[in-house]
């Protein structure tokens, strides 16, 4: 993620200082959609990053869990 200072003077558009904000470590071409969002106040980024694991961590889905607590 990069940041650039820009200056405009009428029809002129100049890019000034460019700097790296942070490393996102996103996966290659498999990514779809936008990997980040900006907070409403514009002060923070929420970035979905790749953790480097080759195999995904399994997710356990529990259905009808309320029936088990009524006993």
Name the residue with tokens 């000034």.
16
For residue 18, the model assigns a pLDDT of: 92
CA–CA dist 63, 60 (Å, integer): 10
Overall pTM > 0.75:
no
Answer yes or no: is 67 within a domain. no
Whether 46 maps to a domain, the answer reads: yes
- The total of other beta-carbon atoms located within 10 Å of residue 61's CB is 5
Look up residue 33 and give its two tokens: 């959609």
Q: Which two tokens stand for residue 37?
A: 């969002």
> Has residue 71 been placed in a domain?
no
Range(s) of the domain holding residue 29: 25-51
* Overall domain count for the chain: 1
Tell me the average pLDDT across 56-67. 87
Per-residue pLDDT of 19-59, as tens digits, reads 988 777 665 556 566 778 889 998 998 887 767 777 777 89
44 inside domain: yes
Can you say whether the dihedral through the CA atoms of 23, 25, 30, 33 is positive or negative?
negative
């Amino acid at each position: 993620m990069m940041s650039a200072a820009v200056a405009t003077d009428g029809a002129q558009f100049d890019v000034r200082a460019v700097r790296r904000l942070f490393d996102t470590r996103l996966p290659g071409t498999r990514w779809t959609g936008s990997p980040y969002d900006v907070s409403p106040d514009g002060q923070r980024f929420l970035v979905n990053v790749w953790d480097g694991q080759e195999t995904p961590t399994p997710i356990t889905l529990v259905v009808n869990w309320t029936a088990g607590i009524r006993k």
